[in-house]
Amino acid sequence: MAEFSILITSSPFNGDSAMRALAFINGVIANGDKVNNIFFYGDGVYHANSLMLDTGDAFSAYRAWSKLSSEHNVALLVCITAAVKRGIVSQQEADDNGIGFANLQAPFEQAGLGEFFTSLHGCTNLVQF
């Protein structure tokens, strides 16, 4: 069985990369292989913004990632530094800085690059979108 880590660096607003990533991941799972985690880095952290509203019948990256995580128990790790730089904050950060809201919610969780690199030791494949 192959084990995958997925690195998402593209914004959910650029083309269809989120849909392609989700299709790839669903194919990996359907093949009987394992996705250890999905790490959102750079502009990829925008996928974790829980305040993005659905616009009609348009694709909702946030909702799709959340569904994938709950159905297949896949960890959604968000680079804490990249997220904070782009205004994606957890409740703890919001409280510490006097911000009235947090837009980084479960199933997304903060992680550092070190944590992601450590998790790569258990993988046979790294795929970036």
pLDDT (tens digit, 0 to 9) for every residue of the chain, 129 residues total? Answer: 899 999 999 999 888 999 999 999 999 999 999 999 999 999 999 999 998 877 777 788 999 999 999 999 999 999 999 999 999 998 887 888 888 788 999 999 999 999 899 988 888 999 999
**Coil, helix or strand at residue 91:** helix
Catalytic residue among 8, 22, 25, 79: 79
Q: What is the DSSP letter of 34?
A: E
Burial annotation 29-58 (CB, 10 A radius, 16+ → b, else e): beeeebbbbbbbbebbbbbbbeebeeeeee
The reply to whether 79 belongs to the active site is: yes
- Boundaries of domain holding 68: 3-128
* CATH classification of the domain holding 108: 3.40.1260.10
The tally of domains found in the chain comes to 1
User: Taking the model in full, what pTM does it have?
Assistant: 0.91
